[in-house]
């Protein structure tokens, strides 16, 4: 198979307007990935499937990732009046970086016996703009995995053929796999609570009493 950079160049040439950013990986596997712009994600997916040399016909794994808001501290130099004299001093300022949700696709070719090629899609934020294009129309094996991510992370996959809960019940609120998720203190529904769950159930019952 070609190098990651060579494939990137061919994809961008084959899908006009597509923007692929290589995301390095510093882990022992050292497998880089592509961050794909959402507008052209479906076109890029079709190219990877249809290209005669790639034939990435199998989405083996689709994973959700939550990146919450973060605060970055940085040192900046500013001018301040000190005893009537303007001096340049160093101050620490905080910059808030909005969070986002991410979906990671691991792709292989069963026909060519190569892979993985890893794609990343990112939402604009974690609230009202948590939408991504579904890649199920290209890789049908992504259908249930995208449903699971919708259920547990709250990402809405536009164009998914059957986007509904797959693990949690319809009335369930919130998204259990998000990093800021807080579990309920009401464990009365558990038939045999034990250990920490039992202690929290007792506390909840005492408060109600």
- For the chain, which residues make up each domain, given as ranges? 4-66+102-174, 179-209
Tens of pLDDT, residue by residue over 5-59, are 899 999 999 999 999 999 998 888 888 999 999 999 999 999 999 999 999 999 9
Q: Per the confidence metrics, is the pTM higher than 0.85?
A: no
Which ranges of 131-172 would DSSP assign to H, the alpha helix?
A: 143-153
Answer yes or no: is pLDDT of 208 > 60: no
Share of the chain above pLDDT 90, in %: 60
Tens of pLDDT, residue by residue over 151-168, are 999 999 999 999 999 999
Q: How far lies 19's CA from each of 24, 50, 77, 86, 150, in Å?
A: 16, 19, 35, 46, 25
CATH of domain 4-66+102-174: 3.30.460.80
Across 61-71, b (16+ Cβ under 10 Å) vs e yields ebebebeeeee
pLDDT band at 77 (very low <50, low <70, confident <90, very high): confident
């Amino acid at each position: 198979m070609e190098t990651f950079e060579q494939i990137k160049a061919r994809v961008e040439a084959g899908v006009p307007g597509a923007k692929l950013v290589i995301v390095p990986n510093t882990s022992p596997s050292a497998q880089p990935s592509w961050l794909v712009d959402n507008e052209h994600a479906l076109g890029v997916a079709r190219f990877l499937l249809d290209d005669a040399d790639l034939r990435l016909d199998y989405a083996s794994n689709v994973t959700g990732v939550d990146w919450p808001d973060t605060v970055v501290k940085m040192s900046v130099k500013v001018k301040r009046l000190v005893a009537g004299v303007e001096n340049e001093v160093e101050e620490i300022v905080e910059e808030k970086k909005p969070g986002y949700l991410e979906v990671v696709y691991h792709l292989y070719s069963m026909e060519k016996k190569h892979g993985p090629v890893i794609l990343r899609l990112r939402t604009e934020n974690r609230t009202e703009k948590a939408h991504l294009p579904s890649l199920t129309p290209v890789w049908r094996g992504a259908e249930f995995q995208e449903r699971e991510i919708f259920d547990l992370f709250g990402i809405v996959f536009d164009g998914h053929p059957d986007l509904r809960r797959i693990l949690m019940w319809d009335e369930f609120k919130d998204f259990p796999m998000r990093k800021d998720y807080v579990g309920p203190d009401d464990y009365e529904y558990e038939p045999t609570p034990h250990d920490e769950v039992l202690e929290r159930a007792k506390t909840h019952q005492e408060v109600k009493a």
